[in-house]
Structure 1
């Protein structure tokens, strides 16, 4: 049975300012929905295990659609997947064909240098699996290395939350770094689309989305890759 490992942050606040954060709900729910619709089981993982916080801004009525409400009101999603996520030591990468890094600004604190998460992703990829990330979640790719120790993203086409989108959010000076800048510095071929419009980039078995509105497209691209 095909399984996907969804990775969320444990960080509930911005590092530089007093403001709540976490995962962006849509990036979990819409991706999870695609997996469920295609018969793919999911597990949730976080750097420390346990509670995965939700950015409260992603719960605004203007941002919530039917898919978001379906999951938000689901006891298993709230009380099991988010409240009791797995720890890295509890995960056997060989059980999964897909790993997906959920966005949300909390990821900027505990994804970019996390070697445990990187090792899990690298093992899944080495076993012909798929590495996927969306929006701010793409910062997790900074920790990945190839077998010869080089940056995994070097020379790869990918995307993530852009400098323009961060500026439109008014957070350029408040975030720890800029996703587009750091991935570009690491040698990635960063593919930027229109701000807040869906943009999905596929490079072999690396699949990335630009912003929260890209989460469904990332899931769809994974299904297409799995069917090849």
Structure 2
């Protein structure tokens, strides 16, 4: 049985450049699609959040204009309703060990930029996954959670890795680039990542060694399906 640690940010806001709080949380599609793909593949999924707090959905991700229409928004809302008992009983992230899992997955939304991006203990957990040659997968804004991961010598763990995330252009088109305290693409490149991107809003998945990243919400299902296919091909089970 494949054991997946599904880490969700517990932040309900993103602190903007001027100090105001922008309501956020996890992005619905980025949680629902990978969770569903892993569940369909028969994975045992452990949902963990900082402090074991119940995560909240970014309300914008359930608006028809951003979700892909009224039917799609309704379907996502129904899926989240079904997943509520799982999210409500999230376990404390601080108590999780890489030895107990086969892979790590983090969905996006701006929330990870508020908490996971500056969580040194989470960075250590990521390092343990990498040191054990286990898959680390993140989509959209979630690669912000790679930033606190450092090798034992102090070098950023993903320096020289090819990866992707929500791009500066997508942030600008979403209307938040001018308000952001920092832009994820810039921060990843400054840290030493080899950044890869496709046209805005198009699915794009990048795999480099054990790091799997997706560019945007549309990349959520393709990223999860790539993880499932590769785990099946490697025979990674516990």
Please give the range of the TM-score, normalised by the shorter of the 2 chains: over 0.9
Report the counterpart of residue 176 of structure 1 in structure 2.
Answer: 181
Contact preservation (8 Å) 2:162, 2:196 = yes
**8 A contact 2:126–2:146 mirrored in 1:** no
CA distance 1:140–1:128, change in 2 (3 Å): same
d(CA) in 2 for partners of 1:37, 1:128: 24
Contact 1:97 1:128 (C-alpha < 8 Å) held by counterparts: no
Shift of residue 210, structure 1, vs aligned partner: 0.3
Alignment: residue pair count:
225
Q: After the TM superposition, which residues 64-75 of structure 1 pair with which residues of structure 2 at under 5 Å, given as runs?
A: 64=72, 68-74=76-82
Q: Check the 8 A contact 1:129/1:205 in 2, yes or no.
A: yes
TM-score by length of 1: 0.93
1:91–1:67 Cα change, 3 Å? farther
Provide the residue aligned with 1:50 in structure 2: 53
Which sits farther off after the overlay, 195-204 or 216-225?
A: 216-225
Return the alpha-carbon distance in structure 1 between the equivalents of residues 192 and 112 of structure 2: 21
Alignment of 1:78 with 2:84, yes or no, is yes
Helix, strand or coil at the partner of 1:6: strand
Q: State the alpha-carbon separation in 1 of the partners of residues 99 and 28 from structure 2.
A: 27
Residues 60-109 of structure 1 show CA distances to partners (whole Å, capped at 9, x for unaligned) of 234136862452231xx213x32232212331321111111210111111
C-alpha separation between the residues in 2 aligned to 1:225 and 1:24? 25
Residue aligning to 1:4: 4
Structure 1 unaligned residues grouped into runs of 5+:
none
**Residue in structure 1 matching 2:39, options 21, 36, 39:** 36
User: Bigger shift: 120-129 or 159-168?
Assistant: 120-129
CA distance in 2, matches of 1:126, 1:108: 24
Structure 2 residues not aligned, in runs of 5+? none
1:13-28 equivalence runs, <5 A: 13-16=13-16, 17-28=20-31
Deviations 1:175-215 (A, max 9, x none): 22101000000010000111011000000110000001101
Deviates more, 1:44-53 or 1:63-72: 63-72
RMSD after superposition: 1.6
Match in the other structure for 2:114: 109
Of 176, 186, 195 in structure 2, the residue corresponding to residue 190 of structure 1 is 195
Write the distance in 1 (CA, Å) between the matches of 2:99 and 2:127. 11
**Distance in 1, Cα, partners of 2:147 & 2:112:** 12
Give the TM-score normalised by the residue count of structure 2. Answer: 0.89
